[in-house]
């Protein structure tokens, strides 16, 4: 089916760890007793080796299941917490997702509605013929001061959408945007944390005034009434605001989506897209979905689910990520993973992590895309790719073609849990993994608990931070193994 621009696929990623709000509030109750009133549920907590790039990559991988990533001809990455201020973060994600180099890419930032702005840009590119297969990815990992309301309200997550005109699962009906320099919060250059203004003013003068303008404008442009909307997704940390906004715009109360405050928290610029992905998991043919994102104005977009949605293979999505949770009650671990306390790392951490940028460039497909080699003569697979085939009866020279391991399932051959090696999350788990179609290499493990790893376990590969060069503000990425459970 071809025709109008719309969503072709979706994906989402929420980190496995979920910080208990009760644990966080209890640790800080001596200083701010009022936090105990918000000590309900949990918030998504990224591992120490996760950031906005790695989460966006995982969401993108979920979105691209069953699709050829090399056919993507447009990439947009939206986040307010990009790890590099002057290096295109979308380019890192493109390598990890094994996208073509022959395409435009861009970073979109500086607003909580960066996610919907990126989505609108991708839809316009597809509708105008500038792109056939546009990929929009978004993620945020926001830091907040200890004992703040934001520490409890925030959450880490990402979402991704493939856009096009073929086999559209949700047609794009239209949108309306309002741009107002309404400063509910801001983060100045070089600052680590947001500065927030008074809640009542943001609620009454911001959301109550600006959001309905965008929503009503979108409804009017699409020739719809509020009663036509089946799913209304609008992130907001203030209780009851989405419901009041829906009522003001004539949207039925039952259409208001769960904002995932109790299970995820608010994922910044990515949260509107996370809620849109969640709505698609429940949408039926003909359902109209309105997603609104507030931030120095408001974007409102409307989609209509098609019959192709039921034919899309199941994604891990929001529901799958929620099901894979692990509760974390160690508040100090949360502080450490977010760089909010200065740990004594010991002498083994005292090393220069300077990265050779020339070698990184030359080996970029190996490092960022986990591409090895496959011998065209004997079929032997190996990592890393080399000039000489490692096949015992081959040894052919210069006969290897690129072979990707990123989506292959491996098996733990041998492993170690090392308390002597420095690790942000000791003990350091690593081991030799083998792949069913051939190839093996020594890999770090992540998202594991002591005592749960064993030889023979299946693992999948994930794109993570390898280590930090704190002296130069650089971070290295590579692929790690995660045990497959459930």
What share of the chain in percent tops pLDDT 90? Answer: 94
Whether the predicted pLDDT of 4 surpasses 80: yes
- The answer, yes or no, to whether residue 131 has pLDDT greater than 60, is yes
Please tell me the predicted confidence (pLDDT) of residue 3.
Answer: 67
DSSP string, 232-246: EE---SSTTHHHHHH
Burial of 277 (0-12, 13-18, 19+ CB in 10 A): buried
CATH 3.40.47.10 domain position(s) in the chain: 2-337
Q: Domain 2-337 carries which CATH code?
A: 3.40.47.10
Beta strands (DSSP E) in 141-228 are 157-166, 170-179, 185-186, 195-196
Say yes or no to pLDDT of 465 above 50. yes
pLDDT tens digits, one per residue of 100-123: 999 999 999 999 999 999 999 999
Give per-residue pLDDT as tens, 31-58.
999 999 999 999 999 999 999 999 999 9
For the segment 124-146, the average pLDDT, to the nearest whole number, is 97
Mean pLDDT of the chain: 96
Beta strands (DSSP E) in 273-352 are 288-294, 297-305, 326-328
At 412, the pLDDT band (50, 70, 90 cuts) reads: very high
- The pTM (predicted TM-score) of the whole model is 0.96
Torsion over CA: 125, 69, 85, 339 (sign): positive
Distance CA 252, CA 194 (A): 34
pLDDT score of 435 more than 70: yes
| Residue located via tokens 């989402």 | 12
Mean pLDDT of 75-103: 98
Residue with tokens 């408001």: 298
Residue span(s) of the chain under CATH 2.40.50.840 come to 347-370+405-483
What separation in angstroms does the CA of 244 have from each of 231, 262, 265? 15, 19, 20
For domain 347-370+405-483, which architecture applies? Beta Barrel (2.40)
pLDDT of residue 348: 76
Q: Which two tokens stand for residue 154?
A: 């925030």
pLDDT for res 1 = 39
């Amino acid at each position: 089916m071809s025709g109008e621009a719309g969503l072709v696929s979706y994906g989402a990623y929420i980190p496995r760890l979920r910080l208990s709000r009760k644990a966080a509030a209890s640790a800080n109750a001596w200083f701010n007793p009022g936090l105990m009133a918000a000590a309900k549920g949990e918030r998504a907590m990224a591992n120490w080796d996760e950031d906005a790039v790695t989460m966006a990559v995982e969401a993108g991988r979920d979105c691209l299941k069953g699709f050829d990533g090399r056919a993507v001809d447009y990439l947009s990455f939206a986040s307010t917490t990009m790890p590099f201020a002057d290096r295109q973060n979308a380019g890192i994600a493109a390598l990890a997702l094994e996208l073509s180099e022959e395409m435009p890419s861009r970073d979109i930032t500086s607003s909580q509605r960066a996610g919907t702005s990126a989505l609108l840009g991708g839809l316009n590119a597809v509708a105008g013929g500038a792109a056939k297969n546009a990929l929009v990815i978004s993620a945020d990992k926001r830091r907040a001061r200890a004992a703040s309301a934001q520490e409890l309200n925030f959450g880490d997550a990402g979402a991704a959408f493939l856009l096009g005109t073929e086999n559209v699962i949700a047609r794009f009906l239209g949108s309306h945007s309002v741009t107002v320099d309404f400063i509910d919060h801001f983060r100045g250059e070089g600052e680590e944390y947001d500065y927030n203004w008074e809640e009542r003013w943001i609620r009454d003068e911001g959301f109550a005034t600006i959001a309905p303008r965008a929503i009503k404008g979108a409804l009017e442009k699409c020739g719809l009434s509020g009663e036509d909307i089946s799913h209304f997704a609008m992130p907001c940390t203030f209780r009851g605001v989405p419901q009041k906004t829906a009522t003001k715009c004539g949207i039925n109360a039952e259409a208001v989506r769960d904002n995932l405050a109790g299970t995820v928290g608010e994922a910044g610029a990515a949260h509107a897209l996370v809620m849109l992905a969640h709505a698609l998991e429940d949408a039926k043919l003909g359902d109209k979905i309105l997603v609104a994102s507030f931030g120095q104005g408001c974007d409102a977009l409307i989609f209509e689910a098609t019959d192709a949605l039921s034919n899309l293979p199941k994604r891990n999505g929001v529901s799958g990520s929620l099901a894979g949770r692990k509760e974390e009650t160690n508040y100090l671990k949360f502080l450490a993973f977010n760089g909010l306390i200065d740990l004594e790392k010991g002498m083994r951490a005292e090393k220069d992590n300077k990265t050779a940028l020339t070698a990184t460039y030359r080996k970029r497909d190996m490092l960022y895309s986990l591409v090895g080699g496959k011998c065209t003569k004997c079929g032997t697979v190996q990592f890393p790719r080399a000039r000489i085939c490692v096949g015992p009866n081959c040894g052919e020279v210069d006969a290897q073609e690129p072979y990707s391991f990123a989506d292959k399932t491996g098996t733990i051959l041998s492993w170690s849990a090392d308390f002597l090696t420095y690790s942000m999350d000791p003990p350091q788990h690593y081991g030799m993994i083998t792949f069913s179609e051939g190839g093996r290499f020594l890999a770090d493990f992540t998202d594991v608990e002591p005592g749960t790893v064993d030889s023979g376990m299946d693992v999948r590969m994930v794109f993570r931070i390898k280590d930090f060069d704190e002296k130069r503000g650089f971070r290295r990425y590579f692929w790690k193994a995660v045990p497959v459970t459930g």
